[in-house]
């Protein structure tokens, strides 16, 4: 087991649960694997596939995912193939013949195709193992339900002695039980890994309006040149707005949404995988079927509708385990809109509940990772140190007067206005609507002119979180003073608010950083790395990345399939100049050593 891990995948040790899972499969047990995205599920069936006699059949819902996996396996010297309609008839014929001869070790197939191929498989092929990837697609309760999956229960009838393994990154209990039942798993071993992704940083920015968001995004990206990222937006229009804004700043970006044709979407995805496009502005439709391991950041331009969605989306960053960043913008407008969607949906109560948990995350003043893990049923007793709350614990001040100003303005407008207009009244903005409603004549008009509008947005969100105001979603999302709010307004209780720390301020205080990889080097070895060495490492890293891209383009597959960012980083650190030293690097197996070793060593030597 360990030899195969080293030889084909170049790793020295297993991650938690992997070894146990593999042992159970080898003993012929059914297994259910729950692991977060990037946790290392694939190895759990790939290693048994290489150890067992016959062919392991992997059921996977998406053609693009299959292609990626097959490319990666072939690049590791393993005979894998996908039987599907993208192939020519001859190609499929060859694959079938090689299955009969037992040459194909891992065969990927879609669920509908599998059902059609059952007679062939049961008669001519020695099937070692069935692995059902993305097994949550079987559950109607989940977000990716696929009807074809519900027929997979047949596997255990047709292949009585072949173990079935189900794998998913969706953790909830209903889905888990559904998978077990529908696949007819026999007394399965269930493995639930921690859902923590410590390499993902977590950050929320509250109350930004469009222009501020755009500035913050530009700032964020300028600190990450050439790094791949995804920006999730709620609407197609937003994806286009953000993309246009980035294009104006010469950033290499593409959009992805349901309004594009299938071909256009495929092209965008392909360009992103191959590092021809740096950033994709996408609606939620983008992502499933993306195995790209070097996504370095995920930005949520809008609030997601649930923590499940949010976690799945940020999970697409940092699959290679390298430090990656996530940023969520939280605004009142999004909250109001999502509440409307949820209220109009078929499952109103459940969707409102989900949204509320998402809101709690966005408003948190305790470690955000603890909230996420808690949501997935994992308790931790320490703060993570890698979220904005941990890094900048909120400072509080007595905000009673500010709150009183806002509440008083609200009361004087008969509580018939929403967020934006309240800010306008406080700031004393003579908008047309304000004048026509004569709000410019009320006593509190302009009492908050000394506080910038964006800070008012933040304070109002804080007041919402503190329960001093509430939103009447059934009355045009107007704001109402709550019981607790009246107490503050009458001076019977005080309101503690958090000091607002702006991104630009914290940026100014920290020294400019060149690139993320340099930061990573810094984290790893803080002892005595001088600036000179940092920049030299960066130059080497860039050169290695260019070489990887060149090799990838020549062969027509994504760069990360050749070597992951993590391997490039290790090459920078260790700088191997012999083939043997190259082969010792974690993540480089025998096949890659022979195929790419010389080219990389030659480059590293020029830096020696
Ligand atoms: P998942 O399918 O669970 O999302 P993958 O199987 O794609 O995750 O694995 C994510 C990354 O982790 C891959 O780059 C893989 O090579 C790496 N990986 C898996 N197992 C190990 C291990 N034991 N040691 C080091 N890296 C590993
Ligand atoms: Zn934290």
CA 315 to ligand 1: nearest atom: 4
Per the model's pLDDT, the better-predicted residue between 443 and 300 turns out to be 300
Average pLDDT over residues 567-572: 93
Residue 64 pLDDT level (bands cut at 50, 70, 90) = confident
Q: Does the C-beta of 567 come closer than 6 Å to ligand 1?
A: no
Return the ligand number nearest the Cα of 369: 2
Q: Does the C-beta of 41 come closer than 6 Å to ligand 1?
A: yes
Which protein residue has the closest C-alpha to ligand 1 atom 5? Answer: 40
Residue span of the structural domain in which 587 resides:
526-605
- Pick from 158, 176, 192: which residue ends a domain? 192
**Domain presence at residue 513:** no
Which protein residue has the closest C-alpha to ligand 1 atom 18? Answer: 40
DSSP string for 344-407: HSTTHHHHHHHHHHHHHHHH-SS-HHHHHHHHTT---SS--SSBHHHHSPPPEEE-HHHHHHHH
- Pick from 391, 421, 455: which residue ends a domain? 391
**Domain presence at residue 67:** yes
- The Cα 456–Cα 465 span in angstroms is 14
Tokens 């059921």: give the residue: 59
Checking if the pLDDT of 440 tops 50, the result is yes
Task: Tell me, yes or no, whether 432 and 541 share the same domain.
Answer: no
Checking if the pLDDT of 520 tops 70, the result is no
**Domain presence at residue 507:** no
- Residue 295 Cα to ligand 2 middle (Å): 21
Task: Tell me, yes or no, whether 23 and 167 share the same domain.
Answer: yes
pLDDT value for 288: 64
- The CATH number covering residue 129 comes to 3.40.50.300
Q: Does the C-beta of 320 come closer than 6 Å to ligand 1?
A: yes
Task: Tell me, yes or no, whether 204 and 184 share the same domain.
Answer: no
pLDDT digits 0-9 by tens, 83-107 = 988 889 999 999 999 999 999 999 9
- Residue 351 Cα to ligand 2 middle (Å): 26
Tokens 């590293």: give the residue: 604
- Residue 484 Cα to ligand 2 middle (Å): 29
Separation of CA 98 from chain center: 37
Task: Tell me, yes or no, whether 477 and 580 share the same domain.
Answer: no
Checking if the pLDDT of 174 tops 60, the result is yes
- The Cα 551–Cα 538 span in angstroms is 20
Checking if the pLDDT of 527 tops 70, the result is no
- The Cα 204–Cα 143 span in angstroms is 25
- The CATH number covering residue 541 comes to 1.10.150.80
Q: Does the C-beta of 182 come closer than 6 Å to ligand 1?
A: no
Per the model's pLDDT, the better-predicted residue between 50 and 366 turns out to be 50
pLDDT value for 133: 94
| Mutate which of 19, 37, 40 for ligand 1 pocket (most atoms within 8 A of beta carbon) | 40
pLDDT value for 364: 86
Work out how many domains the chain is built from and give that number: 4
- Residue 568 Cα to ligand 2 middle (Å): 28
Task: Tell me, yes or no, whether 445 and 560 share the same domain.
Answer: no
Task: Tell me, yes or no, whether 143 and 292 share the same domain.
Answer: no
CA 41 to ligand 1: nearest atom: 3
- Pick from 456, 481, 498: which residue ends a domain? 498
Highest mean pLDDT among 134-143, 173-182, 244-253: 244-253
**Domain presence at residue 515:** no
DSSP string for 111-166: HHHHHHHHHHHHHH--EEEEEETTGGGG-TTSSS--GGGGGGGGHHHHSTTS-EEE
Task: Tell me, yes or no, whether 134 and 210 share the same domain.
Answer: no
**Domain presence at residue 514:** no
Q: Does the C-beta of 69 come closer than 6 Å to ligand 1?
A: no
Task: Tell me, yes or no, whether 58 and 133 share the same domain.
Answer: yes
Return the ligand number nearest the Cα of 18: 1
Task: Tell me, yes or no, whether 187 and 317 share the same domain.
Answer: no
Q: Does the C-beta of 59 come closer than 6 Å to ligand 1?
A: no
Residue 503 pLDDT level (bands cut at 50, 70, 90) = low
Q: Does the C-beta of 75 come closer than 6 Å to ligand 1?
A: no
Task: Tell me, yes or no, whether 173 and 273 share the same domain.
Answer: no
Average pLDDT over residues 50-70: 91
**Domain presence at residue 137:** yes
- Residue 293 Cα to ligand 1 middle (Å): 9
Q: Does the C-beta of 319 come closer than 6 Å to ligand 1?
A: yes
Task: Tell me, yes or no, whether 372 and 243 share the same domain.
Answer: yes
**Domain presence at residue 86:** yes
Q: What is the mean pLDDT of the chain?
A: 89
- Residue 503 Cα to ligand 1 middle (Å): 33
Q: Does the C-beta of 58 come closer than 6 Å to ligand 1?
A: no
Task: Tell me, yes or no, whether 373 and 408 share the same domain.
Answer: no
pLDDT digits 0-9 by tens, 5-26 = 999 999 999 998 999 999 999 9
**Domain presence at residue 504:** no
Closest CA to 76 of 544, 581, 593: 593
- Residue 179 Cα to ligand 1 middle (Å): 23
């Amino acid at each position: 087991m360990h030899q195969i891990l080293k030889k084909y995948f170049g790793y020295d040790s297993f991650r938690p649960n992997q070894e146990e899972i593999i042992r159970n499969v080898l003993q012929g047990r059914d297994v259910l694997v729950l692991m977060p995205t990037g946790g290392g599920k694939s190895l759990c069936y790939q290693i048994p596939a290489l150890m067992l006699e016959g062919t392991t059949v992997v059921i996977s819902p998406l053609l693009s995912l299959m292609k990626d996996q097959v490319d990666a396996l072939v690049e590791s010297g393993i005979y894998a193939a996908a039987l599907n309609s993208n192939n020519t008839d001859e190609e499929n014929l060859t694959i079938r013949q090689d299955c009969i001869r037992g040459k194909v070790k891992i065969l990927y197939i879609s669920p509908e195709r599998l059902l059609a191929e059952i007679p062939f498989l049961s008669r001519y092929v020695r099937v070692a193992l069935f692995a059902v990837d993305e097994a949550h697609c079987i559950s109607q309760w989940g977000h990716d339900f696929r009807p074809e999956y519900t027929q997979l229960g047949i596997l255990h009838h047709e292949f009585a002695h072949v173990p079935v393994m189900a794998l998913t990154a969706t953790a909830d209990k209903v889905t888990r039980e559904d998978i077990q039942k529908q696949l007819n798993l026999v007394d399965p071993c269930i493995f639930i890994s921690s859902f923590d992704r410590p390499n993902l940083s977590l950050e929320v920015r509250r109350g930004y309006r469009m222009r501020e968001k755009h500035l913050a995004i530009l700032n964020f990206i300028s600190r990450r040149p050439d790094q791949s990222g995804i920006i999730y937006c709620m609407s197609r229009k937003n994806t286009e707005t953000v993309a246009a804004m980035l294009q104006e700043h010469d950033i290499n970006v593409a959009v992805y949404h349901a309004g594009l044709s299938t071909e256009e979407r495929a092209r965008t995805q392909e360009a992103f995988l191959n590092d021809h496009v740096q950033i994709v502005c996408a609606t939620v439709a983008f992502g499933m079927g993306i195995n790209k391991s070097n996504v370095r950041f995920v930005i949520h331009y809008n609030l997601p509708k649930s923590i499940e969605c949010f976690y799945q989306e940020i999970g697409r960053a940092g699959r290679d385990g390298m430090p990656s960043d996530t940023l969520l913008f939280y605004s009142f407008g999004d909250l109001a809109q999502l509440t409307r969607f949820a209220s109009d949906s078929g499952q109103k109560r459940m969707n409102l509940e989900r949204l509320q948990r998402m809101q709690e995350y966005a408003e948190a003043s305790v470690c955000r990772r603890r909230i996420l893990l808690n949501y997935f049923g994992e308790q931790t007793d320490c703060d993570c140190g890698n979220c904005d709350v941990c890094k900048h614990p909120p400072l509080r001040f007595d905000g009673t007067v500010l709150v009183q100003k806002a509440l008083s303005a609200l009361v004087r407008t008969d509580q018939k206005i929403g967020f934006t207009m309240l800010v306008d009244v406080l700031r004393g903005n003579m908008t047309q609507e304000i004048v026509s409603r004569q709000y410019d004549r009320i006593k509190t008009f302009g009492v908050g002119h000394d506080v910038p509008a964006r800070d008012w947005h933040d304070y109002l969100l804080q007041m919402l979180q503190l329960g001093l105001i509430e939103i009447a979603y059934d009355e045009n999302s107007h704001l109402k003073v709550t019981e607790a709010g009246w107490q503050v307004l009458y001076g019977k209780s005080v309101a503690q608010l958090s000091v607002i720390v702006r991104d630009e301020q914290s940026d100014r205080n920290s020294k400019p950083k060149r690139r993320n990889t340099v930061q990573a080097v810094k984290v790893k070895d803080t002892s005595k790395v001088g600036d000179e060495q940092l920049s030299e490492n960066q130059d080497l890293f860039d050169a290695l990345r260019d070489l990887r891209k060149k090799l990838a383009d020549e062969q027509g597959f994504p760069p990360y399939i050749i070597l992951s960012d993590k391997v490039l980083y290790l090459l920078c650190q260790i700088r191997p100049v012999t083939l043997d030293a190259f082969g010792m690097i974690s993540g480089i197996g025998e096949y890659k050593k022979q195929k790419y070793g010389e080219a990389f060593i030659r480059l590293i030597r020029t830096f020696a």
